[in-house]
Structure 1
Amino acid sequence: MTYQEAYEQLTMLIDDIESDAIPLDELPGKIRQATELITFCQARLRDVETDYQEVIGRMAKR
Structure 2
Amino acid sequence: MSFTDKIKNKAENALGVAKEKTGQATGDRELQAEGKADQSKASLKDAGEKLKDAAANVKDALGGSKS
Percent of aligned positions that are identical: 2
Give the drift of 1:51: 0.3
**Matched letter for residue 13 of structure 2:** L
Segments ≥4 residues shifted beyond 6 Å: none
Aligned residue pairs: how many? 56
TM-score (norm 2): 0.64
Question: CA, structure 1 residues 30+12, in 2 after alignment: closer, same or farther (shift >3 Å)?
Answer: closer
Return the structure number with greater relative CO, CA threshold 8 A, min gap 6: 1
- Conservation of the 8 A alpha-carbon contact between 2:10 and 2:42: yes
Alpha-carbon deviations, 1:23-53, whole Å to 9, x = none?
3411100000100000000000000100011
- When the two chains are superposed, the root-mean-square deviation of aligned CA atoms in Å is 2.3
Ranges in structure 1 where 5+ consecutive residues have no aligned partner: none
TM-score, with length taken from structure 1: 0.68
